[in-house]
Structure 1
Amino acid sequence: KVGDRVGVGCLVGSCGSCQMCESGYEQWCTSTPGTLWTYRADAEGNPTTGGYSRGFTVREDFALHIPEELDFAACAPLLCAGITTYSPLKHYNVGAGSRVAVLGMGGLGHVGVQIAKAMGADVSVISHGRSKEADARRFGADHFYATSEEGTLESLRGSFDLILCTVSADGLDYAGYMAALRPYGVFVDVGLPTEPVSLPLRAFVNGGKSFAGSQIGGIAETQEMLDFCAAHGVIPQVEMITGEEITQAYDNVVASRVRYRYVIDTSTFPESA
């Protein structure tokens, strides 16, 4: 109703009637034109521009209720990073007794660590170096491993039920990470490297392991994620910026200097933009 605090995530519409939509997976809408994204999509001849937009036109059932416990600005990344990490952790039944590793401690990873910990898992962070170890532990990580240290990956063989990979860098030792899974473990990738990857089939067959991908979640699951984060105090670490600071902020993201998400105050955009 008027006056409610609402959030708009990665999608603003879908057909609502295909099998995927009726099952709560609007992000996989199979109709034509399919899911209407808030960025890089075409809304009746008008390109959508995501977080650079002054506003959205959104179907009312695609607007999400923001719980009062969540800071309005700081929770903005939950609508992308939050659901991207929550969905696979829930799908693979992470809970008490689960051993979860989050690969990469950036904008996605720092939220994934908090969510996995709130679900009751024993959480490890695997990063290249140790510059983010203190932050990882502050977000709830029980263990921290640096792959730049010789023998680290080998020492983790058979350690995890699930590895959540948030890294988009090329050249990862995927076979090594598959070896770090326990039998029937799953490696879930939400990063998008630019180059194709290859894996020997023995990495899957030995131990009955799985390699999976994931991408956000449907509207009901996104609302569930927001309510979960409100109940467990999960909140991204953000820095609010103005429109004039976007270029510098983008350069900082590329250079991995951001801790951990920028949120743009779109009220600072010029009226003519």
Structure 2
Amino acid sequence: MNSPHNPLDADTLRRLQEDVIDSYDEELELEVDDRILDGPAGLSDEARESRRVYFRELFRLQGELVKGGAIKRITQRLNPRVCRVAALPAPNDREKTQWYFQRFVSHLPAAGEIVLFDRSWYNRAGVERVMGFCSDEDLEEFFRSVPEFEKMLVRSGIRVIKYWFSISDEEQSARFLARINDPLKQWKLSPMDLESRRRWEDYTRAKEVMLERTHIPEAPWWVVQAVDKKRARLNCMHHLLAQFDYHEVEHQPVHLPPRERHEDYIRNPVPADMFVPDIY
């Protein structure tokens, strides 16, 4: 909605409309299999073709991942028994007394598994640092420890791949405005998110120090240009696949067995008052 107290210029309105369409596309990604829909009315031929290309590449790359976001797009079609997301909340009082990396260790993958950390140990170098949730001594100890921690993981056979999705100041502002003006997305904005907008420069400086001090050959950082969300997802998925040698997995044919039937079995009727009314 466009309040007279919060006027939006034409470019911002266009961006909000694009964000709404992108939201539709996110829902379609969960529902559409291999069909490419034309999209909402009003799209230009160029936008319609770009959308077709996006879905075609998305499904192709997801197919490659199945052989072997952006987190949702990577995990969407993978077996949850071998690929999972670890999104740890803020540490509780007990966890605050533990070795900093301790609560992450139990989520690390076994052989043949993939774990995507939505909130990783790098929270310490970002939000904890900027918001004052850790001391300068804690931060310095983190920077001393994290390269050694990641080297240990790599020596044990775990591949550590780190992505930073980079957006501009203007893009972050536009995304926040899109959420503020969309009642269905306002829940995504926490007080911490709003404060992070105010402290954009502090977060940027923290990011620069983090990349400089934790970019190691064994576990380098990869920066994804993410102003265009769709291109960012595809580029990240393509790059992730390129980090591994993989091959076609042979699957045994699946045959549906015949259902056993017994003459003495009678299916009991469900009481009428237990049914949800057929409104639609």
| Bigger CA radius of gyration | 2
Q: Same fold (TM over 0.5)?
A: no
> Scaled by the length of structure 2, what TM-score is found?
0.25
The structure showing larger relative contact order (alpha-carbon pairs under 8 Å, at least 6 residues apart) is 2
